[in-house]
Amino acid sequence: MELIVSLAIGVLAGSGVWLLLRPRTFQVIMGLSLLSYAVNLFIFSTGGLRTGAAPVLEHGVPGNLAQHADPLPQALVLTAIVISFATTALFLVVLLASRGLTGTDHVDGRERDG
């Protein structure tokens, strides 16, 4: 399972970096989204996978903390998802405004010749 998650993180991060280096603004935005997905998956995977474990401690029930799931990575990922959604929406509005002003979606604001 760890190999599959590691490969998924690597593919998402690699695709995101490749799209960040593209000349079109929409491709850059999609690259940022893929890169944020890779980081979210990485943070989420640091919490470990414990099936059948309680997410929080119950009052009055003694137990070992190693038997419970770690809620901190889940909270961090949830916060990161909300923030990345807001920034992606902002980037799309800026993309539309830039395209309306310049008439192109090229990162430099002008098309290359040839």
Q: What SS3 string covers the chain?
A: CHHHHHHHHHHHHHHHHHHHCCCEHHHHHHHHHHHHHHHHHHHHHHCCCCCCCCCCCCCCCCCCHHHCCCHHHHHHHHHHHHHHHHHHHHHHHHHHHHHHHHCCCECCCCCCCC
84 found inside a domain: yes
Residue 112 pLDDT > 60, yes or no?
yes
Q: Please tell me the pTM assigned to this model.
A: 0.75
82 found inside a domain: yes
65 found inside a domain: no
Structural domain including 26 reads 2-47+71-102
The pLDDT tens digits for 66-100 are 666 677 888 888 999 999 999 999 999 998 998 88
23 found inside a domain: yes
Domain count, the chain: 1
